[in-house]
Amino acid sequence: MARSLVLAAGLLVLLAAPPASAETAGRKFLRGFAGMKTAFLEVPGNMVAETRTHGPAEGLPLGFAKGLGMIIPRVLVGVYEFLSAPFPAPADFRPILEPEFPWDYFQSRAPSPPPPPPPPPPRHRTRKR
């Protein structure tokens, strides 16, 4: 019981201490933990990302395949980051995989504005004689 309370308190401190954008040992630890526990989100996440890029007909099957292929790297990198959290490798605790967390695929991105319509074709006037 006491061990789980200490672990919960430690995780709370790690979550509350660093600002969201700071790359710290605590954030690297949590990134590794999240990578180990939520790697399954790679499948729907890649499906969303590829659908945004290529449309649903191509994005869904391509994203499914990429997501399946990214589960194992996400878990392995998660273990590495979890165990090496106290050490600044890579430099400044930067994330190894992009997106940093598996749920970042689902962050809404502002859609790019549609391109302007093409100019109308020139009209040729015919003279009446």
Which amino acid is residue 61, in one-letter code? P
**What is the C-alpha to C-alpha distance for residues 26 and 18, in angstroms, rounded to an integer?**
8
111: left (phi over 0), alpha (psi -120 to 50) or beta: beta
Rounded to two decimals, what is the model's pTM? 0.65
Note down pLDDT in tens along the chain; length 129 residues.
767 655 555 554 455 444 555 689 999 999 999 999 999 999 999 999 999 999 999 999 999 999 999 999 999 999 999 999 999 888 888 999 999 999 998 886 655 556 677 888 887 777 666
Give the residue from 27, 41, 119, 37 showing the smallest Cα distance to 78: 37
